[in-house]
Amino acid sequence: MADDGVQALLIELGTEELPPTALRQLRDALAAGIEQGFAQREVAHGDVRRFASPRRLGLRIDAVPCRQPDRIVERRGPAVAAAFDDDGNPTKAAEGFARSCGVAVSELETLPDDKGPRLGYRATQPGQTIGELLPEVLDQALQRLPIPKRMRWGRSRAEFVRPVHWLVVLHGDAVLPMRQLDAEAGRETRGHRFMAPGRIALSHADEYEGRLREEGRVIADMDARRQEVERQVHALAAELGGEVVADDALLDEVSALVEWPVALAGRFDERFLEVPAEALISSMQGHQKCFPVRDRDGALLPVFITVSNIESRAPERVVEGNERVIRPRLADAAFFWEQDRRRPLAQRLDGLKRVLFQKQLGSVYEKSERVAGLCGYLAEGLGGIPAAEARRSGWLSKCDLATEMVGEFPELQGIMGHYYAVHDGEAAAVADALEAQYRPRFGGDETAAGRCGQILAIADRADTLVGIFAALGAPSGAKDPFALRRAALGLVRTIIERGLDVDLRDLLEQAATAMPATLDARAQVEPVLSFCFERLRAYYQDQGVAPEVFEAVAALRPVRPLDFDARVRACQRFLDLPEAESLTAANKRIRNILRRADSADLGEGYREGELAEAAEQALARELGEVAARVEDLIAERAYAQALESLAGLRESIDRFFDEIMVMAQEQRTRANRLGLLAEIDRLFSAIADISQLPGR
């Protein structure tokens, strides 16, 4: 293959405006599909640049050869013994195999095989040119795109997410002829729909990004476009004397809506600032895809930033249009705020009887009743807040779902509950809990800070987990419509990170008793318990805890997440001790010895006075000195200190195994030594299954 055949490959699919929230996924899936197709066909290539804008999906792949490499094709046929008769003539099996290979029997080879030599055929298959293989690769990549519903337009039979208007396929400076989605491949791309609507004939694949930007007024690289959006809105916010409110999702969506971003600032009436900032932000971001601006103290300013898809000669007209559209949206939020406050949250409770939570679990009212009971139970056990306040938070927890504001902006549930509870004169702890119950809202989010909020967050999740497990079972695969995995992790994270000594099994049993009698909820307590603790596997892995540490603690099946965490931290710290590797190996050896021992030799403990050898006497003496201290530390959950104390046994244990034959022929001697090892195992196992910890 000549070096001059290696060229950049450009593929661009021009469409009507693509769905913005799916654009990044479509871009990545197309690139992945092409790379997978090349890998399957052994086509080596260089770096891949991915492109996506509202009207195009594309990629440029560096160093793509003009032809795939030749391949050796090998086929195996019948065993030699079955391929020829006693006179050496080919059998029908041999002739049929030769025919299928398109050659005579004499051209077949004998190939070695584990079951004896076989007839075989080897040939060199010339590689296809990139122009020959790419249509199939591209077609397969397009078919695999994550498009929920493919559609057809006009008389075309091609199906895609949006109508396709042009196709660019260039290998270096050469067009690779093909037809995809009723579009013929060429070298002409198109610029911005309004600022540069003409066609741009590309001479070479390497020109694409630069010429499209300079002549077409399109930033084809979505990541570069996102960076430009972010740069502009932050710079404009600074000019306005504030800081932009921009989350990743909004930046992604805006970047998917424009090809040539131009940030512009608009204003709105200051009277709207009387509405909670979260409601205004949701309205601006959700409805108008605008960026709110805060001042240096965090207060919302009466300005917003919109990102236009055009460099207008009259930008003030664009701003006026956005101001005109955003005004009624903010007026709606102000109206909802005013209307909702006319009825206290508590008066909305009865309305929840008409809102279904889940068919077998009843209404949201019934869920609130169960959660209130769990809140009271937790408050009595944990202290720190009156049980009456905890129960009140449970009763009011879902009342804001019946408000106009949350009906319009579901993402504000809990947040608006807090505002309305403050307005109603509810206790501060109760009002705070209504917002805190949803924390953590996402990975990395903080857990609830106040005790009442912590209790409500735990109770709500416990009720959901037990109820849905009883009604529908555990989530399977990627399907988790009630977000049970997130609920379970939020529950155990709240308990651990807020230092709450909760017996999770007891809590789940309490939740099960309140479930409808038609469900066998008690049978789901253990499955839910395991499900919750399993969420901690990835939680600890993200913190650098060895997977074996998790397994070592999980083997004991603790039921208190806070206790589970203390054991994990202790074991992770234990691994840093110089004695850890030797003791881990010794524990594995002890476990194996005890597992193989006759039951008649176990269960009697050990009698120190009958130990005759110096090594076993020394170990027993040291063990006696350590045991009481370790048991006291374990009772106090000071597991790290307990393991450090046990680490002091290393030299005595090593000497014991060096000098003592545990499985002595004399039964009393053997049983005594096994009893000594069993006591060591008991002390270590009271913390974790140390034998499962990794060596260095």
pLDDT of residue 287: 85
The residue among 452, 404, 447 whose CA lies nearest residue 428 is 452
Pairwise CA distance, residues 310 & 258, whole Å: 8
Tell me what the pLDDT averaged over the chain comes to: 92
Pairwise CA distance, residues 617 & 656, whole Å: 9
pLDDT of residue 2: 38
Pair of tokens at residue 280: 């205004």
Residue 60 has pLDDT above 60, yes or no: yes
Residue 403 has pLDDT above 60, yes or no: yes
When mean pLDDT is compared across 188-197, 382-391, 617-626, the lowest value belongs to 617-626
SS3 72: strand
CB 165 within 8 A of CB 16: yes
Pairwise CA distance, residues 639 & 674, whole Å: 25
CB 269 within 8 A of CB 220: no
pLDDT over 70, % of the chain:
98
When mean pLDDT is compared across 342-346, 405-409, 561-565, 593-597, the lowest value belongs to 593-597
Highest mean pLDDT pick, 76-85, 120-129, 134-143, 684-693: 134-143
Pairing of strands 183-186, 164-171: parallel
CB 171 within 8 A of CB 130: yes
Any idea what the Cα angle at residue 255 is, between residues 9 and 310, rounded to 5°? 95
CB 305 within 8 A of CB 293: yes
Pairwise CA distance, residues 261 & 318, whole Å: 13
Any idea what the Cα angle at residue 435 is, between residues 374 and 440, rounded to 5°? 80
**pLDDT tens for each residue of 449-463:** 999 999 999 999 999
Pairing of strands 56-64, 300-308: unpaired
- The H helix count followed by the E strand count for the chain is 27, 18
**pLDDT tens for each residue of 491-514:** 999 999 999 999 999 999 999 999
The residue among 242, 414, 268, 402 whose CA lies nearest residue 330 is 268
Pairing of strands 7-15, 56-64: antiparallel
User: What pLDDT band is residue 144 in, cutting at 50, 70 and 90?
Assistant: very high
Is 453 or 647 the better-scoring residue by pLDDT? Answer: 453
When mean pLDDT is compared across 152-166, 174-188, 364-378, 522-536, the lowest value belongs to 152-166
The residue among 546, 555, 542 whose CA lies nearest residue 493 is 542
Pairwise CA distance, residues 616 & 606, whole Å: 11
pLDDT of residue 71: 81
Over residues 517-527, mean pLDDT? 96
Pairwise CA distance, residues 306 & 283, whole Å: 13
Positive or negative torsion for Cα 97, 103, 106, 107: negative
pLDDT of residue 278: 96
Pairwise CA distance, residues 336 & 576, whole Å: 58
User: What pLDDT band is residue 694 in, cutting at 50, 70 and 90?
Assistant: confident
CB 505 within 8 A of CB 491: no
CB 529 within 8 A of CB 559: yes
Pairing of strands 56-64, 48-53: antiparallel
Question: To the nearest 10°, the Cα dihedral for 140, 144, 148, 154?
Answer: -10
Pairwise CA distance, residues 78 & 96, whole Å: 10
The residue among 393, 383, 375, 391 whose CA lies nearest residue 432 is 393
Residue 3 has pLDDT above 70, yes or no: no
SS3 266: strand
Pairwise CA distance, residues 26 & 13, whole Å: 12
Between helix 222-239 and helix 248-257 the angle, nearest 10°, is 110
Pairing of strands 183-186, 179-180: antiparallel
Question: Would you tell me how many other CB atoms lie within 10 Å of the CB of residue 668?
Answer: 12
pLDDT of residue 175: 97
Phi, psi of 179 (to 5 degrees): -135, 125
Question: Would you tell me how many other CB atoms lie within 10 Å of the CB of residue 65?
Answer: 20
pTM of the shown model: 0.81
| Angstrom distances, CA of residue 140 to CA of 161, 176, 319 | 15, 17, 44
CB 471 within 8 A of CB 358: yes
pLDDT of residue 188: 97
pLDDT of residue 81: 85
Phi, psi of 501 (to 5 degrees): -85, 80
CB 582 within 8 A of CB 650: yes
Q: Is 2 left (phi over 0), alpha (psi -120 to 50) or beta?
A: beta
Alpha carbon 300 to its chain centroid, in Å, reads 32
> In order of start, what are the domains of the chain with their CATH numbers?
3-68+129-214 (no CATH), 77-118 (no CATH), 222-340 (no CATH), 347-534 (no CATH), 568-692 (1.10.730.10)
Q: Kind and range of the H or E element at 554?
A: helix 547-554
Tell me what percent of the chain is helix, strand and coil, each rounded to the nearest 5. 55, 15, 30
Question: Would you tell me how many other CB atoms lie within 10 Å of the CB of residue 114?
Answer: 4
SS3 631: helix
User: What pLDDT band is residue 696 in, cutting at 50, 70 and 90?
Assistant: low
Termini Cα distance of the chain: 48
Over residues 651-661, mean pLDDT? 84
The residue among 332, 252, 237 whose CA lies nearest residue 284 is 332
When mean pLDDT is compared across 128-142, 189-203, 589-603, the lowest value belongs to 589-603
**pLDDT tens for each residue of 296-339:** 999 999 999 999 999 999 999 999 999 999 999 999 999 999 99
When mean pLDDT is compared across 43-47, 227-231, 672-676, the lowest value belongs to 672-676
**pLDDT tens for each residue of 236-295:** 999 999 999 988 999 999 999 999 999 999 999 999 999 999 999 999 998 899 999 999
Pairwise CA distance, residues 554 & 335, whole Å: 53
User: What pLDDT band is residue 4 in, cutting at 50, 70 and 90?
Assistant: low
Question: Would you tell me how many other CB atoms lie within 10 Å of the CB of residue 120?
Answer: 18
The residue among 680, 682, 614, 678 whose CA lies nearest residue 670 is 678
Maximum Cα–Cα distance across the chain = 105
Residue 413 has pLDDT above 90, yes or no: yes
**pLDDT tens for each residue of 347-375:** 999 999 999 999 999 999 999 999 999 99
Question: To the nearest 10°, the Cα dihedral for 420, 424, 426, 430?
Answer: -10
Phi, psi of 511 (to 5 degrees): -65, -40
**pLDDT tens for each residue of 69-95:** 888 888 888 988 888 888 888 999 988
pLDDT of residue 195: 95
User: What pLDDT band is residue 695 in, cutting at 50, 70 and 90?
Assistant: low
